[in-house]
Amino acid sequence: MTDRQTQIKLTNTKTRHKDVFVPIDPDNVRMYVCGPTVYDRAHIGNARPVIVFDVLYRLLRHVYGADHVTYVRNFTDVDDKINAKAAETGRSIREITDETMQWYLDDMRAVGALDPDKMPRATEYIGAMITMIEGLVESGHAYVAEGHVLFAVESYKDYGKLSGRSIDDMIAGARVEVAPYKRNPMDFVLWKPSSEGQPGWDSPWGYGRPGWHIECSAMSYELLGETFDIHGGGNDLMFPHHENEIAQSCCAHDGAGFANYWLHNEMLQVEGKKMSKSLGNFFTVRDLLDGHDGQAPVPGEVIRFVFLSTHYRKPMDWTAEKAKEAENTLRYWMDLTWELEPTAEESFTPETKLVDALSADLNTHLALTYLRSLHNQPQKLLDNARFMGFLSDEARQKRREIESAIPHGSGRGGSEVLAKLAVELDALRNAAKLSKDFAPVDALKTALLEAGVEVRMSKTGVELEAGPKFDASKLEGLL
Ligand code: AMP
Ligand code: ZN
Protein backbone atom coordinates (compact mmCIF):
# COMPACT_ATOMS: atom_id res chain seq x y z
CA MET A 1 0.00 0.00 0.00
CA THR A 2 1.45 3.36 -0.96
CA ASP A 3 0.83 6.63 0.78
CA ARG A 4 1.64 9.36 -1.71
CA GLN A 5 -0.21 12.09 0.18
CA THR A 6 2.51 12.04 2.80
CA GLN A 7 4.63 15.14 2.64
CA ILE A 8 8.28 14.37 3.31
CA LYS A 9 10.52 17.23 4.34
CA LEU A 10 14.28 16.92 4.15
CA THR A 11 17.08 19.32 5.01
CA ASN A 12 18.69 19.94 1.66
CA THR A 13 22.33 20.97 1.83
CA LYS A 14 21.93 22.48 -1.62
CA THR A 15 19.30 25.01 -0.53
CA ARG A 16 20.15 25.03 3.19
CA HIS A 17 16.46 24.62 3.87
CA LYS A 18 14.08 21.98 5.00
CA ASP A 19 12.48 21.38 1.61
CA VAL A 20 9.34 19.48 0.71
CA PHE A 21 10.45 16.43 -1.19
CA VAL A 22 9.03 16.36 -4.72
CA PRO A 23 10.46 13.52 -6.80
CA ILE A 24 11.19 13.98 -10.48
CA ASP A 25 9.10 10.89 -11.20
CA PRO A 26 7.04 9.47 -8.32
CA ASP A 27 7.02 6.12 -10.09
CA ASN A 28 10.81 6.00 -10.01
CA VAL A 29 12.29 7.75 -7.01
CA ARG A 30 16.09 7.62 -7.20
CA MET A 31 18.67 7.86 -4.44
CA TYR A 32 22.46 7.53 -4.52
CA VAL A 33 24.63 7.18 -1.41
CA CYS A 34 28.42 7.08 -1.43
CA GLY A 35 29.57 3.68 -0.26
CA PRO A 36 32.74 2.36 1.34
CA THR A 37 36.26 1.95 0.06
CA VAL A 38 36.75 -1.77 0.55
CA TYR A 39 40.06 -2.59 2.15
CA ASP A 40 39.09 -3.25 5.77
CA ARG A 41 36.20 -3.84 8.15
CA ALA A 42 33.73 -0.94 8.42
CA HIS A 43 34.16 1.05 11.62
CA ILE A 44 31.05 2.05 13.54
CA GLY A 45 31.10 5.56 12.06
CA ASN A 46 30.71 4.02 8.61
CA ALA A 47 27.46 2.42 9.76
CA ARG A 48 25.86 5.79 10.45
CA PRO A 49 25.10 6.82 6.86
CA VAL A 50 24.02 3.25 6.14
CA ILE A 51 21.45 3.25 8.95
CA VAL A 52 20.28 6.81 8.29
CA PHE A 53 19.73 6.27 4.57
CA ASP A 54 18.18 2.89 5.24
CA VAL A 55 15.48 4.65 7.24
CA LEU A 56 14.95 7.11 4.40
CA TYR A 57 14.81 4.20 1.93
CA ARG A 58 12.16 2.48 4.06
CA LEU A 59 10.14 5.68 4.24
CA LEU A 60 10.35 6.27 0.47
CA ARG A 61 9.33 2.67 -0.20
CA HIS A 62 6.32 3.13 2.02
CA VAL A 63 5.27 6.42 0.45
CA TYR A 64 5.95 5.65 -3.22
CA GLY A 65 5.75 1.84 -3.20
CA ALA A 66 8.63 -0.59 -2.89
CA ASP A 67 8.82 -1.09 -6.66
CA HIS A 68 9.05 2.64 -7.31
CA VAL A 69 12.28 3.43 -5.48
CA THR A 70 15.81 2.77 -6.71
CA TYR A 71 18.57 3.03 -4.14
CA VAL A 72 22.17 2.79 -5.36
CA ARG A 73 25.19 2.52 -3.07
CA ASN A 74 28.60 1.92 -4.62
CA PHE A 75 31.67 0.00 -3.60
CA THR A 76 34.97 1.79 -4.23
CA ASP A 77 37.19 -1.14 -5.15
CA VAL A 78 40.02 0.82 -6.76
CA ASP A 79 42.02 2.95 -4.38
CA ASP A 80 45.59 3.38 -3.21
CA LYS A 81 44.66 2.08 0.27
CA ILE A 82 43.58 -1.19 -1.34
CA ASN A 83 46.84 -1.35 -3.30
CA ALA A 84 48.78 -0.80 -0.08
CA LYS A 85 46.86 -3.59 1.65
CA ALA A 86 47.61 -5.95 -1.24
CA ALA A 87 51.31 -5.09 -1.09
CA GLU A 88 51.35 -5.54 2.69
CA THR A 89 49.58 -8.90 2.74
CA GLY A 90 50.71 -10.39 -0.57
CA ARG A 91 47.08 -11.10 -1.42
CA SER A 92 45.40 -10.14 -4.66
CA ILE A 93 43.31 -6.99 -4.90
CA ARG A 94 40.29 -8.95 -6.03
CA GLU A 95 40.53 -11.31 -3.09
CA ILE A 96 40.76 -8.39 -0.65
CA THR A 97 37.91 -6.41 -2.19
CA ASP A 98 35.60 -9.45 -2.54
CA GLU A 99 36.19 -10.41 1.07
CA THR A 100 35.71 -6.86 2.36
CA MET A 101 32.53 -6.35 0.36
CA GLN A 102 31.05 -9.50 1.87
CA TRP A 103 32.05 -8.39 5.38
CA TYR A 104 30.42 -5.05 4.75
CA LEU A 105 27.16 -6.60 3.59
CA ASP A 106 27.08 -9.01 6.52
CA ASP A 107 27.76 -6.24 9.04
CA MET A 108 25.23 -3.81 7.56
CA ARG A 109 22.55 -6.48 7.34
CA ALA A 110 23.26 -7.23 11.00
CA VAL A 111 22.36 -3.65 11.91
CA GLY A 112 19.06 -4.05 10.09
CA ALA A 113 19.92 -2.28 6.83
CA LEU A 114 18.13 -3.49 3.71
CA ASP A 115 20.38 -4.08 0.73
CA PRO A 116 20.19 -1.22 -1.75
CA ASP A 117 18.65 -2.14 -5.11
CA LYS A 118 22.00 -1.75 -6.84
CA MET A 119 25.51 -2.00 -5.44
CA PRO A 120 27.87 -1.27 -8.32
CA ARG A 121 31.59 -1.78 -7.93
CA ALA A 122 33.73 0.93 -9.44
CA THR A 123 35.97 -1.42 -11.45
CA GLU A 124 32.94 -2.54 -13.47
CA TYR A 125 32.33 1.02 -14.66
CA ILE A 126 35.78 2.03 -15.90
CA GLY A 127 34.48 2.29 -19.49
CA ALA A 128 31.74 4.70 -18.39
CA MET A 129 34.30 6.78 -16.48
CA ILE A 130 36.61 7.00 -19.51
CA THR A 131 33.71 8.11 -21.72
CA MET A 132 32.75 10.79 -19.23
CA ILE A 133 36.33 12.05 -18.91
CA GLU A 134 36.70 12.15 -22.70
CA GLY A 135 33.61 14.36 -22.90
CA LEU A 136 34.97 16.68 -20.23
CA VAL A 137 38.28 17.04 -22.10
CA GLU A 138 36.46 17.73 -25.37
CA SER A 139 34.27 20.42 -23.84
CA GLY A 140 37.25 22.12 -22.19
CA HIS A 141 36.33 21.29 -18.59
CA ALA A 142 39.32 19.00 -18.24
CA TYR A 143 42.90 18.92 -19.54
CA VAL A 144 45.65 16.39 -19.95
CA ALA A 145 48.98 17.00 -18.22
CA GLU A 146 51.84 14.57 -17.70
CA GLY A 147 49.69 11.46 -18.11
CA HIS A 148 47.05 12.83 -15.78
CA VAL A 149 43.66 14.21 -16.66
CA LEU A 150 42.57 17.06 -14.41
CA PHE A 151 39.28 18.81 -13.95
CA ALA A 152 39.62 22.59 -14.33
CA VAL A 153 37.61 24.01 -11.45
CA GLU A 154 37.60 27.48 -12.94
CA SER A 155 35.58 26.14 -15.85
CA TYR A 156 32.60 25.54 -13.57
CA LYS A 157 31.18 28.72 -12.14
CA ASP A 158 29.27 27.05 -9.29
CA TYR A 159 32.29 25.22 -7.92
CA GLY A 160 32.11 25.41 -4.11
CA LYS A 161 28.41 26.28 -3.96
CA LEU A 162 27.26 23.14 -2.15
CA SER A 163 29.67 23.56 0.72
CA GLY A 164 29.46 27.35 0.54
CA ARG A 165 33.13 28.06 -0.14
CA SER A 166 34.89 30.20 -2.67
CA ILE A 167 37.83 28.79 -4.59
CA ASP A 168 40.18 31.08 -2.67
CA ASP A 169 38.83 29.84 0.69
CA MET A 170 39.26 26.30 -0.48
CA ILE A 171 42.85 26.83 -1.48
CA ALA A 172 43.60 28.49 1.83
CA GLY A 173 41.76 25.96 3.99
CA ALA A 174 42.29 22.64 2.31
CA ARG A 175 45.31 20.45 2.16
CA VAL A 176 45.39 20.38 -1.59
CA GLU A 177 47.96 18.38 -3.40
CA VAL A 178 50.12 20.92 -5.16
CA ALA A 179 51.45 19.45 -8.35
CA PRO A 180 53.39 21.36 -10.99
CA TYR A 181 51.12 20.14 -13.77
CA LYS A 182 47.97 21.67 -12.20
CA ARG A 183 46.75 24.95 -13.66
CA ASN A 184 44.92 25.75 -10.44
CA PRO A 185 45.84 24.09 -7.12
CA MET A 186 42.18 23.06 -6.66
CA ASP A 187 42.05 21.15 -9.95
CA PHE A 188 41.46 17.51 -9.15
CA VAL A 189 42.43 14.25 -10.77
CA LEU A 190 40.04 12.44 -13.09
CA TRP A 191 42.59 9.95 -14.35
CA LYS A 192 46.13 9.12 -13.28
CA PRO A 193 48.88 6.93 -14.69
CA SER A 194 49.57 3.50 -13.17
CA SER A 195 52.98 1.89 -13.05
CA GLU A 196 53.30 -1.71 -14.16
CA GLY A 197 52.57 -3.35 -10.82
CA GLN A 198 49.57 -1.15 -10.10
CA PRO A 199 45.99 -1.83 -11.16
CA GLY A 200 45.20 -0.01 -14.37
CA TRP A 201 43.25 0.06 -17.59
CA ASP A 202 44.13 1.22 -21.10
CA SER A 203 42.76 4.64 -21.88
CA PRO A 204 43.27 7.47 -24.41
CA TRP A 205 45.77 8.87 -21.85
CA GLY A 206 47.71 5.65 -21.42
CA TYR A 207 47.61 2.86 -18.87
CA GLY A 208 46.10 4.26 -15.68
CA ARG A 209 43.26 4.36 -13.19
CA PRO A 210 40.45 6.75 -12.30
CA GLY A 211 40.44 9.32 -9.53
CA TRP A 212 37.96 8.68 -6.76
CA HIS A 213 35.33 11.35 -7.47
CA ILE A 214 34.61 10.37 -11.07
CA GLU A 215 33.39 6.95 -9.94
CA CYS A 216 30.25 8.25 -8.29
CA SER A 217 29.50 10.57 -11.22
CA ALA A 218 29.81 7.74 -13.73
CA MET A 219 27.92 5.14 -11.73
CA SER A 220 25.06 7.42 -10.75
CA TYR A 221 24.72 8.47 -14.40
CA GLU A 222 24.69 4.88 -15.64
CA LEU A 223 22.21 3.65 -13.04
CA LEU A 224 20.04 6.68 -12.26
CA GLY A 225 20.45 9.10 -15.18
CA GLU A 226 21.67 12.67 -15.58
CA THR A 227 19.39 14.02 -12.90
CA PHE A 228 18.02 12.13 -9.94
CA ASP A 229 16.37 12.88 -6.62
CA ILE A 230 18.54 12.33 -3.56
CA HIS A 231 22.28 12.13 -3.00
CA GLY A 232 23.53 11.20 0.44
CA GLY A 233 26.67 10.66 2.47
CA GLY A 234 28.52 11.76 5.57
CA ASN A 235 29.23 15.48 5.86
CA ASP A 236 32.96 14.79 5.70
CA LEU A 237 32.30 14.06 2.02
CA MET A 238 30.66 17.40 1.23
CA PHE A 239 33.99 18.89 0.30
CA PRO A 240 35.79 18.01 -1.84
CA HIS A 241 34.09 14.76 -2.88
CA HIS A 242 30.53 15.94 -3.44
CA GLU A 243 31.63 19.29 -4.76
CA ASN A 244 33.72 17.44 -7.35
CA GLU A 245 30.93 15.03 -8.22
CA ILE A 246 28.63 17.98 -8.95
CA ALA A 247 31.24 19.78 -11.05
CA GLN A 248 31.98 16.70 -13.16
CA SER A 249 28.39 15.64 -13.64
CA CYS A 250 26.94 19.07 -14.36
CA CYS A 251 29.70 19.81 -16.87
CA ALA A 252 29.51 16.39 -18.53
CA HIS A 253 25.74 16.64 -19.00
CA ASP A 254 25.41 20.24 -19.91
CA GLY A 255 22.50 21.82 -18.13
CA ALA A 256 21.55 18.76 -16.07
CA GLY A 257 21.19 19.44 -12.36
CA PHE A 258 22.62 16.15 -11.01
CA ALA A 259 20.98 15.56 -7.59
CA ASN A 260 18.05 17.71 -6.46
CA TYR A 261 18.31 16.98 -2.73
CA TRP A 262 21.60 16.58 -0.91
CA LEU A 263 21.52 14.99 2.53
CA HIS A 264 24.46 14.79 4.88
CA ASN A 265 24.73 12.93 8.15
CA GLU A 266 26.88 14.30 10.95
CA MET A 267 29.79 12.35 12.35
CA LEU A 268 29.88 9.79 15.10
CA GLN A 269 32.16 10.05 18.12
CA VAL A 270 32.93 7.55 20.87
CA GLU A 271 32.49 8.44 24.55
CA GLY A 272 32.74 12.14 23.69
CA LYS A 273 35.91 11.90 21.62
CA LYS A 274 36.73 11.64 17.97
CA MET A 275 37.19 7.98 17.18
CA SER A 276 40.80 7.21 16.49
CA LYS A 277 43.16 4.29 16.69
CA SER A 278 45.62 6.26 18.82
CA LEU A 279 42.97 7.03 21.46
CA GLY A 280 42.10 3.33 21.70
CA ASN A 281 38.41 4.07 21.09
CA PHE A 282 38.31 2.82 17.54
CA PHE A 283 36.23 -0.21 16.82
CA THR A 284 34.53 -1.88 13.94
CA VAL A 285 30.91 -2.91 13.61
CA ARG A 286 32.11 -6.51 13.79
CA ASP A 287 34.00 -5.82 17.04
CA LEU A 288 30.72 -4.75 18.60
CA LEU A 289 28.69 -7.60 17.11
CA ASP A 290 31.14 -10.26 18.26
CA GLY A 291 32.28 -8.62 21.50
CA HIS A 292 35.78 -7.18 21.82
CA ASP A 293 38.35 -6.44 24.49
CA GLY A 294 36.43 -8.46 27.06
CA GLN A 295 33.12 -6.69 26.30
CA ALA A 296 29.89 -8.60 25.72
CA PRO A 297 28.61 -8.78 22.14
CA VAL A 298 26.22 -5.97 21.17
CA PRO A 299 23.29 -7.16 19.02
CA GLY A 300 22.97 -5.36 15.66
CA GLU A 301 19.57 -3.93 16.48
CA VAL A 302 21.01 -2.36 19.63
CA ILE A 303 23.57 -0.53 17.47
CA ARG A 304 20.74 0.58 15.21
CA PHE A 305 18.65 1.79 18.15
CA VAL A 306 21.49 3.84 19.61
CA PHE A 307 22.17 5.46 16.23
CA LEU A 308 18.54 6.33 15.62
CA SER A 309 18.18 7.92 19.06
CA THR A 310 20.13 10.90 17.72
CA HIS A 311 18.99 12.98 14.77
CA TYR A 312 21.15 12.40 11.71
CA ARG A 313 22.14 16.06 11.48
CA LYS A 314 23.55 16.14 14.98
CA PRO A 315 26.90 14.76 16.01
CA MET A 316 26.26 11.50 17.80
CA ASP A 317 28.11 10.00 20.67
CA TRP A 318 28.41 6.23 20.97
CA THR A 319 28.56 5.25 24.63
CA ALA A 320 28.42 1.89 26.37
CA GLU A 321 25.70 3.31 28.58
CA LYS A 322 23.44 4.13 25.65
CA ALA A 323 23.98 0.63 24.29
CA LYS A 324 22.94 -0.89 27.61
CA GLU A 325 19.82 1.21 27.75
CA ALA A 326 18.89 0.36 24.17
CA GLU A 327 19.42 -3.30 24.92
CA ASN A 328 17.00 -3.08 27.85
CA THR A 329 14.32 -1.45 25.74
CA LEU A 330 14.70 -3.93 22.91
CA ARG A 331 14.63 -6.86 25.29
CA TYR A 332 11.45 -5.47 26.77
CA TRP A 333 9.89 -5.10 23.34
CA MET A 334 10.98 -8.58 22.43
CA ASP A 335 9.30 -9.94 25.58
CA LEU A 336 6.10 -8.02 24.95
CA THR A 337 5.81 -9.34 21.41
CA TRP A 338 7.29 -12.78 21.97
CA GLU A 339 4.15 -14.81 21.28
CA LEU A 340 2.94 -12.71 18.35
CA GLU A 341 3.24 -13.32 14.64
CA PRO A 342 4.28 -10.25 12.64
CA THR A 343 1.76 -9.00 10.09
CA ALA A 344 2.84 -9.72 6.52
CA GLU A 345 4.61 -6.71 5.00
CA GLU A 346 2.14 -6.44 2.09
CA SER A 347 -0.83 -6.03 4.37
CA PHE A 348 0.77 -3.73 6.90
CA THR A 349 0.63 0.06 7.02
CA PRO A 350 2.81 1.87 9.53
CA GLU A 351 1.06 4.17 11.98
CA THR A 352 0.58 7.74 10.79
CA LYS A 353 2.42 9.14 13.79
CA LEU A 354 5.46 7.08 12.95
CA VAL A 355 5.39 8.09 9.28
CA ASP A 356 4.88 11.72 10.29
CA ALA A 357 7.90 11.63 12.58
CA LEU A 358 10.10 10.20 9.84
CA SER A 359 8.69 12.58 7.25
CA ALA A 360 9.78 15.52 9.40
CA ASP A 361 13.39 15.39 8.23
CA LEU A 362 13.82 11.85 9.58
CA ASN A 363 13.01 12.55 13.20
CA THR A 364 14.04 9.09 14.31
CA HIS A 365 14.24 10.12 17.94
CA LEU A 366 10.54 10.98 17.88
CA ALA A 367 9.81 7.78 15.98
CA LEU A 368 11.45 5.75 18.78
CA THR A 369 9.51 7.69 21.41
CA TYR A 370 6.36 6.80 19.54
CA LEU A 371 7.32 3.12 19.42
CA ARG A 372 7.90 3.20 23.18
CA SER A 373 4.38 4.52 23.64
CA LEU A 374 2.98 1.37 22.02
CA HIS A 375 3.85 -0.91 24.93
CA ASN A 376 0.16 -1.52 25.61
CA GLN A 377 -0.47 -2.54 22.01
CA PRO A 378 2.08 -5.27 21.38
CA GLN A 379 0.91 -6.20 17.88
CA LYS A 380 1.24 -2.58 16.75
CA LEU A 381 4.57 -2.34 18.51
CA LEU A 382 5.86 -5.44 16.74
CA ASP A 383 4.76 -4.38 13.25
CA ASN A 384 5.85 -0.76 13.55
CA ALA A 385 9.16 -1.66 15.16
CA ARG A 386 9.81 -4.05 12.28
CA PHE A 387 9.09 -1.24 9.84
CA MET A 388 11.93 0.64 11.53
CA GLY A 389 14.23 -2.38 11.22
CA PHE A 390 13.83 -3.78 14.76
CA LEU A 391 12.52 -7.14 15.99
CA SER A 392 13.44 -8.65 12.65
CA ASP A 393 13.13 -12.36 11.95
CA GLU A 394 16.89 -12.69 12.48
CA ALA A 395 16.81 -10.87 15.81
CA ARG A 396 13.86 -12.96 16.99
CA GLN A 397 15.50 -16.14 15.78
CA LYS A 398 18.70 -15.28 17.59
CA ARG A 399 16.77 -14.69 20.76
CA ARG A 400 15.01 -18.06 20.36
CA GLU A 401 18.39 -19.75 20.08
CA ILE A 402 19.60 -18.07 23.26
CA GLU A 403 16.37 -18.96 25.07
CA SER A 404 16.52 -22.60 24.08
CA ALA A 405 20.13 -22.83 25.24
CA ILE A 406 19.20 -21.74 28.78
CA PRO A 407 17.76 -24.48 31.01
CA HIS A 408 14.41 -23.63 32.56
CA GLY A 409 14.34 -22.28 36.06
CA SER A 410 17.95 -21.15 35.98
CA GLY A 411 17.08 -17.62 36.90
CA ARG A 412 16.82 -16.41 33.34
CA GLY A 413 13.72 -14.48 34.46
CA GLY A 414 15.89 -12.15 36.54
CA SER A 415 17.40 -10.31 33.61
CA GLU A 416 14.10 -10.04 31.80
CA VAL A 417 12.39 -8.64 34.84
CA LEU A 418 15.25 -6.19 35.33
CA ALA A 419 14.95 -5.02 31.74
CA LYS A 420 11.24 -4.41 32.23
CA LEU A 421 11.83 -2.64 35.50
CA ALA A 422 14.47 -0.39 33.96
CA VAL A 423 11.96 0.74 31.36
CA GLU A 424 9.33 1.15 34.07
CA LEU A 425 11.64 3.22 36.26
CA ASP A 426 12.61 5.39 33.32
CA ALA A 427 8.95 5.96 32.46
CA LEU A 428 8.16 6.85 36.08
CA ARG A 429 11.05 9.27 36.10
CA ASN A 430 9.88 10.94 32.90
CA ALA A 431 6.38 11.28 34.33
CA ALA A 432 7.82 12.67 37.56
CA LYS A 433 9.70 15.35 35.68
CA LEU A 434 6.35 16.71 34.58
CA SER A 435 4.32 16.13 37.75
CA LYS A 436 7.22 17.06 40.06
CA ASP A 437 6.16 14.12 42.25
CA PHE A 438 9.20 11.91 42.63
CA ALA A 439 7.71 9.64 45.31
CA PRO A 440 6.84 6.76 42.90
CA VAL A 441 10.39 6.88 41.48
CA ASP A 442 11.93 6.77 44.94
CA ALA A 443 9.63 3.94 46.03
CA LEU A 444 10.60 1.73 43.10
CA LYS A 445 14.25 2.60 43.48
CA THR A 446 14.21 1.66 47.17
CA ALA A 447 12.48 -1.65 46.40
CA LEU A 448 15.10 -2.42 43.77
CA LEU A 449 17.97 -1.63 46.10
CA GLU A 450 16.43 -3.91 48.71
CA ALA A 451 16.37 -6.71 46.14
CA GLY A 452 20.11 -6.26 45.66
CA VAL A 453 19.80 -4.48 42.33
CA GLU A 454 22.37 -1.85 41.42
CA VAL A 455 20.51 1.17 40.09
CA ARG A 456 22.25 3.66 37.84
CA MET A 457 20.24 6.63 36.67
CA SER A 458 21.74 9.16 34.33
CA LYS A 459 20.55 11.83 31.96
CA THR A 460 20.32 9.31 29.15
CA GLY A 461 18.53 6.50 30.95
CA VAL A 462 18.32 3.87 33.60
CA GLU A 463 20.52 0.87 34.03
CA LEU A 464 19.73 -1.99 36.39
CA GLU A 465 22.15 -4.75 37.19
CA ALA A 466 21.95 -7.65 39.61
CA GLY A 467 24.44 -6.98 42.42
CA PRO A 468 26.15 -9.61 44.59
CA LYS A 469 23.17 -9.72 47.00
CA PHE A 470 20.59 -9.94 44.23
CA ASP A 471 17.42 -11.78 45.19
CA ALA A 472 15.02 -12.25 42.26
CA SER A 473 12.18 -13.31 44.56
CA LYS A 474 12.08 -9.80 46.00
CA LEU A 475 11.26 -8.43 42.55
CA GLU A 476 7.96 -10.27 42.45
CA GLY A 477 5.08 -7.90 42.61
CA LEU A 478 7.11 -4.92 41.44
CA LEU A 479 5.83 -5.11 37.91
P1 AMP B 1 34.82 6.05 3.71
O2 AMP B 1 34.92 4.57 3.46
O3 AMP B 1 35.82 6.58 4.67
O4 AMP B 1 34.72 6.84 2.44
O5 AMP B 1 33.43 6.29 4.47
C6 AMP B 1 32.21 5.70 4.09
C7 AMP B 1 31.07 6.49 4.66
O8 AMP B 1 31.15 6.56 6.09
C9 AMP B 1 31.01 7.94 4.19
O10 AMP B 1 29.65 8.28 3.89
C11 AMP B 1 31.51 8.74 5.36
O12 AMP B 1 30.96 10.02 5.39
C13 AMP B 1 31.00 7.93 6.52
N14 AMP B 1 31.77 8.13 7.77
C15 AMP B 1 33.10 7.97 7.95
N16 AMP B 1 33.46 8.23 9.23
C17 AMP B 1 32.32 8.55 9.89
C18 AMP B 1 32.00 8.91 11.24
N19 AMP B 1 32.92 8.97 12.21
N20 AMP B 1 30.71 9.18 11.53
C21 AMP B 1 29.75 9.10 10.60
N22 AMP B 1 29.97 8.78 9.31
C23 AMP B 1 31.23 8.49 8.94
ZN1 ZN C 1 30.53 9.60 -3.92
Write the pLDDT tens digit of every residue in 102-139. 999 999 999 999 999 999 999 999 999 999 999 999 99
Please tell me if the CB atom of residue 233 comes closer than 6 angstroms to any atom of ligand 1. Answer: yes
Q: Which residues of 90-120 are buried (b: 16+ CB within 10 A; e: fewer)?
A: eeebeebbeebbebbeebbebbbbeebbeeb
Looking at the CA of 233, which ligand is closest?
A: 1
Instruction: Measure the CA–CA gap between 31 and 103, rounded to whole angstroms.
Output: 23
263 contacts 56 by C-beta, under 8 angstroms: yes
Residue 462 belongs to some domain of the structure: no
Residue 475 belongs to some domain of the structure: no
Number of domains in the chain: 1
**37 CA closest ligand 1 atom index:** 2
Residue 413 confidence (pLDDT)? 43
Return the ∠ at Cα 226 (arms to 224 and 227), rounded to 5°.
80
Q: In which domain, by residue range, is 76 found?
A: 9-265
Residue 454 confidence (pLDDT)? 84
Instruction: Measure the CA–CA gap between 286 and 290, rounded to whole angstroms.
Output: 6
Residue 466 belongs to some domain of the structure: no
Residue 151 belongs to some domain of the structure: yes
Regions of the chain with pLDDT less than 70: 1, 173-176, 402-414, 468
Residue 253 confidence (pLDDT)? 96
The protein residue whose alpha carbon is closest to atom 19 in ligand 1 is: 45
Q: For the residues of 98-120, what is the DSSP string, one character each?
A: HHHHHHHHHHHHHTTPPPPSB--
pTM of the model: 0.85
Residue 116 belongs to some domain of the structure: yes
The protein residue whose alpha carbon is closest to atom 17 in ligand 1 is: 45
The protein residue whose alpha carbon is closest to atom 9 in ligand 1 is: 234
Instruction: Measure the CA–CA gap between 255 and 242, rounded to whole angstroms.
Output: 18
**316 CA closest ligand 1 atom index:** 20
Residue 419 belongs to some domain of the structure: no
CATH number at residue 67: 3.40.50.620
Residue 216 belongs to some domain of the structure: yes
Residue 408 confidence (pLDDT)? 38
Residue 365 belongs to some domain of the structure: no
